[in-house]
Amino acid sequence: MAKILMKGNEAIAAAAIKGGCKFFFGYPITPQNELPEYMARELHKTGGCFVQAESEVAAINMVYGAAGAGARVMTSSSSPGIALKQEGISYIAGAELPCVIVNISRGGPGLGGIQPAQADYFQNTRGGGNGDYRLLVYAPATLQEAVDLTMEAFDAADYYRNPVVISGDGMIGQMMEPIEFKEPKKRDLSPKDWATDGTKGEREPNIINSLALDPAELEKHNIRLQEKYDLMEKNEVRYEAYNMENAEVVIVAYGTTSRVVKNAIAALKEEGINVGLIRPITLWPYPMKAFDQIPHTTKALLCVEMSMGQMIDDVKIANKGRLPVHFYGRSGGMVPAPDEIVGKVKEILGGER
């Protein structure tokens, strides 16, 4: 298929429909509005349905109902909207239902701004909803990757009966790039015989539920959920290791920021400085094992984010105390320039050059 030029939000929406998404429930918030708008235009053509909910709280609970009813369903929002969805996300994870949630994040805290930021790392990877639950979180760096991951996300969600998050920022949502819709990786999926689609008098009633008043039963449920999350950690980790050979510094960055870092790496190369990049594609499960492959030439790690340093905790855990960990971040919707990263790398290597 030929490549077509699309805006990020629309490309993700189109990919979702190609991935089998039939239902979409959302509420407007910048910078993700083109996504629900695209769904409003297109979803009915597939026999599916778009509903503009009265709030993010309602939207995620509509997703909860539709997912329980056995449909492929999606919602999207941006930071403060995702904050409101956390209640429903916890219930959906607790009831083990599949859905896809897109967070085209912006600067915070609070109402914050509308420019791209990565300050929702904790929100996406640690939750904000109550209880022990985990989400599979994809962080695309290009629109092609956003499209590929969105198409795969529905199968992944069905496979694990778990919400999958597409974590993009305002830049991913708003920019245009050529993309191609390829056949996504398919998984072997079991029939949704647990869904609330009416017994038709042919089976015992199905119950979708996240309540377990007996503590022993709830603990058992949590242990079983954890086993599922362990399986995700074993099988779903994705990352890119870039320019790692003889790297003096290894930068860790994801999404939009990783693209700026790649430009900085090219500029540093011209000055004879070798810098590598570990780019997590799954923010959870985090690519801990990527850090075991850091070359002996590496003197330090540098975590670069559009936040005040939320991923640095994971970098430190993955690094296991082996190398000094530095941080460079911009916040509030400021995107770091390659020069700034070049400067930071030189500062780290300062004493030695």
Partner 1 sequence: MTAVFERTNGLKDLPTHYCPGCTHGIIHRLVGEVLEELNLLGKAIGVAPVGCSVLAYDYFNCDMHEAAHGRAPAVATGIKRVHKDAAVFTYQGDGDLASIGAAEIVHAAHRGEKITTIFVNNAIYGMTGGQMAPTTLIGQKATTAPFGRDKNHSGMPLRVSEMLATITGAVFVERVSVDTPANIRKAKKAIKKAFEVQMAGQGFGIVEVLSTCPTNWGLSPIEALGWLRENMIPYYPLGNFRTPQEVK
Which residues of this protein are in contact with partner 1, per CB under 8 A?
Answer: 22-23, 25, 49, 51, 53-55, 57-59, 61-71, 73, 87-88, 91, 95, 196-202, 205-211
* φ/ψ of residue 229, rounded to 5: -65, -35
72 or 279, CB closer to partner 1? Answer: 72
**CB 268 → partner 1: shortest distance, Å?**
50
| CB contact at 8 A, 83 and 165 | no
Residue 250 three-state SS: strand
**CB 11 → partner 1: shortest distance, Å?**
25
Distance CA 307, CA 332 (A): 8
Question: Torsion over CA of 245, 284, 60 and 140, rounded to 10 degrees?
Answer: 10
48 or 112, CB closer to partner 1? Answer: 48
Cβ atoms within 10 Å, residue 138: 29
Question: Torsion over CA of 67, 50, 143 and 231, rounded to 10 degrees?
Answer: 0
Strands 136-138 and 282-284: antiparallel
Cβ atoms within 10 Å, residue 158: 20
25 or 138, CB closer to partner 1? Answer: 25
25 or 291, CB closer to partner 1? Answer: 25
Distance CA 275, CA 262 (A): 9
23 or 291, CB closer to partner 1? Answer: 23
**CB 79 → partner 1: shortest distance, Å?**
21
**CB 142 → partner 1: shortest distance, Å?**
32
**CB 76 → partner 1: shortest distance, Å?**
15
Residue with tokens 């070359």: 295
Residue with tokens 């969805």: 85
54 or 217, CB closer to partner 1? Answer: 54
**CB 91 → partner 1: shortest distance, Å?**
5
CA atoms within 13 A on the CB side of 16: 31
Residue with tokens 């701004």: 113
**CB 9 → partner 1: shortest distance, Å?**
22
90 or 256, CB closer to partner 1? Answer: 90
Q: Which two tokens stand for residue 55?
A: 């709030």
Residue 20 β-bridge partners: none
**CB 295 → partner 1: shortest distance, Å?**
49
